[in-house]
């Protein structure tokens, strides 16, 4: 899938490496017969097995690396009525082995052109190998050149959409920039989740320009919102369970559950000891386990069982609150 995808025409043989099939008989038609009008001066060509010659193929395209694709123009026109005209305006030349056919030269590499055509025809299958990320990006970037709107081609649920998302964990900034540039909003939203650990202040100017002010502001706002969210969660300490109080209406003083002002200070100090490093080192991608591992040892230092329980309850509230903070733009 990621390569150009080539096959021999009938009667052809490989050149050099047997794994690189080509056509070295320019007089051979796709059906194996000979054309008396063929020009033997043409060089070798390769036919994409994904787009072989067929009776209803009325558009022949050639990549810059000489891979030929037989396409139904109706498929292109269905995606964009202007796309067929865009292809027809490109440089064209005689077919390598049939002067009655015209081949339109497309200034794209074979893997890129194949992805474009497969996306238009809906022929990309999730059972195929995942295309290279750079090929996908190049293919999507090329669509507007041929009057094809990326948002009409890269639709949720399509294979090319799913393939783009599959690269988001390893190439989040590239996928986010691509999606932002072409206003593929749902892909940008998903990719932003993988950018929580990215230092957004270090984004280079060239990439920032490609992303654009709208999506760049949304990304910065996401990071700022998450940092502020954790700060607010740290501000509220565990609930103290009360100070001993005498019941002056009774001859025998009754003392309610509580561990005094000293217990309050111990509880607050323990929380402050945990909150300080979290607040200092917090990141948009802060892991919930980091919160637990920071606070739980401090709970063990509290002598009061009730204080300790209150401390643990507050830890859980913070973890749940952090999980509820939005993690996408």
Within a domain: 308? yes
Query: What is the arithmetic mean of pLDDT over 47-71?
Result: 88
Confidence of residue 97 (pLDDT cuts 50, 70, 90): low
Residue 325 confidence (pLDDT)? 95
Strands (E) across 29-87 are located at 46-47, 59-62, 67-71
User: In DSSP terms, which residues pair with 135 in a beta bridge?
Assistant: none
- Percent pLDDT > 70 in the chain is 78
Residue 37 pLDDT > 60: no
Count structural domains, the chain.
1
Is residue 251 over pLDDT 70? no
Residue 273 lies in a domain: yes
**Structural domain contains residue 214:** no
Question: Which pLDDT score is estimated for 311?
Answer: 94
Instruction: State the pTM of this model.
Output: 0.77
| Span 23-47, average pLDDT | 46
pLDDT of residue 261: 81
Sequence-separated (6 or more) residues with CB below 8 Å from residue 287? none
CA atoms within 13 A on the CB side of 249: 0
**pLDDT over threshold 80, residue 44:** no
Contact (Cβ atoms closer than 8 angstroms) between residue 246 and residue 254: yes
**Which pLDDT band holds residue 206 (cuts at 50, 70, 90)?**
very high
**Residue 72 confidence class, pLDDT cut points 50, 70, 90:** confident
Backbone phi, psi, residue 162, to 5°: -65, -40
306 located within any domain? yes
* Average pLDDT for 172-194: 97
SS in 3 state form for 247-259?
CCCCCCCCCCCCC
Q: Is the pLDDT of residue 233 over 90?
A: yes
Instruction: Calculate mean pLDDT across residues 296-315.
Output: 92
pLDDT, tens digit, for every residue of 46-57? 889 888 988 788
Residue 69 belongs to a domain: no
Per-residue confidence at 279, pLDDT binned at 50, 70, 90?
confident
Burial of 262 (0-12, 13-18, 19+ CB in 10 A): exposed
- In the chain, DSSP finds a helix count (H) and a strand count (E) of 13, 5
Q: How far apart are CA 247 and CA 251, in angstroms?
A: 8
Residue 77 lies in a domain: no
Sign, Cα dihedral of 33, 35, 36, 38: negative
| Residue 233 within a domain | yes
Name 34's bridge partners.
Answer: 28
Distance CA 288, CA 234 (A): 13
Residue 14: inside a domain: no
Buried b (16+ CB within 10 A) or exposed e, 172-183: bbbbbbbbbbbe
**Residue 98: what pLDDT?**
63
Q: Does residue 1 or residue 90 have the better pLDDT?
A: 90
Give Dmax over CA atoms of the chain in angstroms.
Answer: 123
Output the six-digit token pair for 58. Answer: 């009325």
| pLDDT at residue 179 tops 60 | yes
Cα separation, 125 vs 169, whole angstroms? 21
Q: Give the C-alpha separation, 174 to 159, whole Å.
A: 19
pLDDT of residue 41: 42
Residue 174 above 90 pLDDT? yes
Dist CA 95 CA 101 (whole Å): 5
Structural domain boundaries, residue 316: 224-245+257-324
Which stretch of DSSP H or E encloses residue 218? helix 213-235
């Amino acid at each position: 899938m990621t390569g150009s995808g080539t096959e021999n025409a009938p009667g052809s043989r490989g050149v050099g490496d047997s794994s690189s099939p080509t056509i070295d008989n320019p007089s051979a038609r796709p059906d194996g017969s000979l054309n008396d009008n063929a020009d033997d001066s043409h060089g070798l060509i390769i036919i994409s097995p994904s787009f072989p010659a067929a009776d209803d193929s009325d558009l022949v395209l050639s990549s810059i690396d000489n891979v030929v694709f037989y396409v139904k123009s109706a498929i292109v026109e269905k995606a964009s009525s202007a796309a067929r005209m865009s292809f027809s305006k490109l440089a064209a030349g005689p077919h390598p082995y049939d002067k009655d056919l015209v081949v339109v030269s497309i200034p794209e590499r074979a893997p890129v052109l194949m992805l474009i055509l497969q996306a238009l025809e809906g022929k990309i299958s999730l059972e195929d190998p995942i295309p290279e990320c750079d090929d996908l990006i190049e293919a999507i970037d090329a669509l507007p050149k041929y009057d094809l709107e990326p948002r009409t081609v890269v639709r949720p649920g399509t294979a090319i959409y799913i393939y783009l998302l599959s690269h988001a964990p390893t190439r989040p900034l590239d996928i986010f920039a691509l999606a932002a540039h072409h206003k593929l909003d749902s892909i940008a939203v998903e990719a932003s989740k993988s950018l929580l650990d990215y230092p957004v202040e270090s984004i280079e100017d060239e990439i920032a320009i490609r992303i654009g002010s709208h999506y760049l502001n949304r990304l910065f706002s996401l990071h700022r919102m998450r940092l502020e969210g954790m700060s607010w969660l740290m501000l509220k300490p565990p609930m103290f369970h009360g100070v001993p109080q005498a019941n002056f209406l009774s001859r025998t003083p009754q003392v309610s559950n509580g561990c005094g002002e000293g217990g309050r200070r111990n509880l607050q100090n323990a929380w402050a000891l945990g909150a300080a490093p979290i607040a200092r080192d917090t990141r948009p991608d802060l892991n919930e386990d980091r919160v637990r591992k920071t606070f739980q040892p401090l709970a063990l230092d509290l002598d009061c069982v009730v204080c300790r329980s209150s401390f643990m309850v507050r830890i859980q509230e913070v973890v749940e609150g952090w999980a509820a903070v939005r993690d996408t733009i």
